[in-house]
């Protein structure tokens, strides 16, 4: 918008586009990063798996559409969906990304705690969690979107409090560390991780009283809740890669991202 076309303004002089949202919905489950995919029921890419998503309604923003689609695909209530972390990633506009028509897609990343079995109602009968390292080729350019989403999530863990979005309301520092280790694909030193998390103001706050986690072996851990900070000071930097590691390949035209 903004600038009229050279020949003057006429909306109908421009080809119409379809606009959609695509969602990269992540969770950490059994120390693996998982992503929610849906199986396509028709051409193109019938039978292939894809990121959930859908068209914008006529008077709907992309953020609203993303939350609506997320609620539909996961079966979570609007209240739950309204609370979780949803972040616009990037918009994909390649003219041939959908063979049927011109479609631009606004991609979002969403982070969920490990829910019992989130898939439910909605229009995606065949939605399921996949290990993010074991997804075959996806429909459209969704491999690219997924790789970009993983890059972004990993980068944001460094300087934001995003990691708590993968955890339930109350969690131990061990669980939080597991999130970092899973997303980054590295092992972290436990005492050092603890020191950094506790020294970052507003990252986590201890749950009052003497509550401690039961169930596992080993000494019970103290429980924490997400703090009120959104940025992380000082940042929790990812250790430099020492050798070749299973790093998802980036793809976008623009390089580094964060």
- 31 near a copy of itself, rule: CB under 8 A: no
Distance CA 23, CA 83 (A): 16
* Cβ pair 183, 200 in contact under 8 A: no
- 91 near a copy of itself, rule: CB under 8 A: yes
- 88 near a copy of itself, rule: CB under 8 A: yes
- 136 near a copy of itself, rule: CB under 8 A: no
Considering only CA atoms, give the Rg of the chain: 20
Nearer to a copy of itself, 36 or 197 (CB): 36
* Total interface residues for a copy of itself by CB under 8 A: 70
Supply the minimum distance, in Å, between the C-beta of residue 74 and a copy of itself. 13
* Cβ pair 206, 221 in contact under 8 A: no
Nearer to DNA, 15 or 244 (CB): 244
Look at residue 4 and give the partner it binds from DNA, a copy of itself, none, a contact being a CB closer than 5 to 8 Å depending on partner kind.
a copy of itself
CA–CA distances in Å: residue 1 to residues 4, 104, 118, 225: 7, 16, 39, 44
* Cβ pair 172, 221 in contact under 8 A: yes
Distance CA 124, CA 45 (A): 15
- 59 near a copy of itself, rule: CB under 8 A: yes
> Which residues, 6+ apart, have CB-to-CB distance to 80 below 8 Å?
none
CA–CA distances in Å: residue 229 to residues 88, 204, 218, 233: 20, 8, 30, 9
φ, ψ for residue 46, nearest 5 deg: -60, 130
Cross-strand pairs, 212: 222
Look at residue 41 and give the partner it binds from a copy of itself, DNA, none, a contact being a CB closer than 5 to 8 Å depending on partner kind.
a copy of itself
Q: x-or-dash pattern for a copy of itself, window 223-252, by CB under 8 A?
A: -------xx-x------x-----------x
- 148 near a copy of itself, rule: CB under 8 A: no
Distance CA 207, CA 222 (A): 8
Distance CA 143, CA 82 (A): 27
- 137 near a copy of itself, rule: CB under 8 A: no
Supply the minimum distance, in Å, between the C-beta of residue 29 and a copy of itself. 23
- 84 near a copy of itself, rule: CB under 8 A: no
Interacting residues toward DNA by CB under 7 A: 172-174, 189-192, 194-196, 199, 212, 216-222, 234-235, 237, 239
Footprint of a copy of itself (CB under 8 A): 1-6, 9, 11, 14-20, 22, 38, 40-42, 50-56, 58-63, 69, 86-88, 90-91, 93-95, 97-98, 100-106, 123-124, 139-140, 142, 155-156, 159-160, 230-231, 233, 240, 252-256, 258
């Amino acid at each position: 918008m903004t600038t009229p076309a050279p020949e003057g303004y006429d909306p109908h002089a421009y080809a119409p586009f379809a606009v959609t949202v695509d969602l990269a919905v992540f969770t950490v489950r059994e120390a693996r990063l998982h992503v929610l995919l849906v199986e396509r029921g028709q051409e193109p890419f019938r039978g292939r798996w894809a990121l959930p998503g859908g068209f914008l309604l006529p008077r709907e923003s992309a953020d609203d559409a993303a939350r609506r689609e997320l609620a539909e695909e996961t079966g979570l209530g609007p209240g739950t969906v309204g609370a979780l972390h949803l972040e616009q990633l990037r918009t994909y506009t390649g003219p041939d990304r959908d063979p049927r028509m011109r479609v631009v897609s606004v991609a979002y990343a969403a982070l969920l705690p490990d829910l019992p079995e989130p898939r439910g109602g909605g229009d995606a009968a065949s939605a399921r969690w996949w290990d993010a390292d074991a997804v075959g080729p996806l429909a459209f350019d969704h491999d690219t979107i997924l790789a970009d989403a993983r890059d972004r999530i990993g980068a944001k863990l460094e300087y934001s409090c995003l990691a708590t979005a993968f955890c339930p309301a109350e969690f131990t520092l061990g669980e939080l560390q597991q999130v970092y280790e899973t997303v980054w694909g590295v092992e972290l030193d436990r005492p050092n991780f603890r020191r950094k998390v506790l020294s970052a103001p507003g990252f986590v706050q201890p749950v009052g009283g003497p509550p401690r986690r039961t169930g596992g072996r080993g000494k019970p851990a103290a429980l924490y809740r997400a703090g009120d900070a959104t940025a992380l000071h000082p940042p929790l930097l990812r250790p430099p890669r020492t050798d070749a590691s299973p790093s998802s390949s980036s793809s976008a035209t623009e390089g580094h991202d964060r």
